[in-house]
Amino acid sequence: MKAVVIRQYGGPEVLKVEDYPDPVPGPGEVLVRVAAASVNPIDYKRRAGLTKEFYPIQFPGLIGVDMAGTVVKIGAGVEGFSVGDWVFAMADDTYAELCAVNAAVLAKIPKGLDLIRAAALPLVTTTGNQLLSATGIKAGQTVMVVGAVGSVGRSAVFTAKERGAAVIAGVLKRQMDEAKTAGANQVVATDDDTAIEKLPPLDAVADTVGGRTAEKLIAKVRPGGVFATVLGAPQNAAKYPSVKVVPVFSKFDRKTLEFMAEAVRDGKLVIPISQTLPLSEAAEAQAAAEKGGIGKILLVA
């Protein structure tokens, strides 16, 4: 098969499309012909060697965690999947034409959802849902989602609205217009200190940004409230011992992924896709992703 192979840590230029041995599904695994993979921050952090202490690459190796495709072979002991099924997952080594996936982390794509677009969803929608869930927010309470125009942020906003919460979208001034499409009740510029000062006490914050912004916003959480984050505790968290800080690490949950994917299919949740590129342009895709912007970048195998 063709795959994006990495032989050393470095910049996007170390990503090369090469022939690579086809994966063989073992017991409990499913072989999937990949239609598309999506580019996530964890992918380019791994490529750069920033995660080698806890998530190293065995060279020559592959990267990628999101994928959507078609089942082509079933390993021993697998039930619930058939050859020809459209599936998606958070898996390993997804920048490739074929991927062996543990059936326990595989889900069927809801009928009516585009196969290619489905590749954008596993990591970001699951993370956004779990980030919001970690706040424990209830109907009638107020939560601020920081980084609300990002894919994780949009997923958190949708989940909060489904729970009946009032949602404040926290974004940069230049993102204010775009934030109106995220579905929040109110939009606040996080780089406007006056706007931050005017915020009412918050029941919770769901943070996807970190840094100075997180340090400013933890101060706005009421005593007994929750600050949930995918980026680690704010550096000043010790100053607010009455606020519960909850770090969030995305974990596969089939029901959550299917629920979020159905919301995308039905138009209730929008995960923008900014570019769709061939697998051979993985280096260009990662370079673009590292510059930031709104929208997922997909690699079509």
Q: What is the mean pLDDT of residues 148-177?
A: 97
pLDDT in tens, 194-225: 999 999 999 999 999 999 999 999 999 999 99
pLDDT bucket at 292, cuts 50 / 70 / 90: confident
Structure confidence at residue 71 (pLDDT): 98
294: pLDDT strictly greater than 80: no
Per 3-state DSSP, what percentage of the chain is helix, strand, and coil (rounded to 5)? 30, 30, 40
CA 178, 180, 185, 189: dihedral to nearest 10 degrees?
A: 40
Give pLDDT, residue 286.
Answer: 97
pLDDT at 293: 78
Vertex 194: Cα angle to 157 and 224 (nearest 5): 55
Rounded Cα–Cα distance for residues 291 and 39 (Å): 12
Query: C-alpha angle with apex 206: 198 to 87, nearest 5 degrees?
Result: 145
d(CA 261, CA 101): 19
Of 251, 214, 252, 205, give the one whose Cα is nearest residue 232: 214
Residue 215's pLDDT is what? 98
- pLDDT, tens only, 249-260: 999 999 999 999
Sign of the CA dihedral running 48, 54, 60, 61: negative
Q: What is the pTM for the complete model shown?
A: 0.96
Whether the per-residue pLDDT at 156 is higher than 80: the answer is: yes
pLDDT at 246 over 80: yes
pLDDT averaged over every residue in the chain:
97
Cα angle 116, 149, 209; round to 5: 110
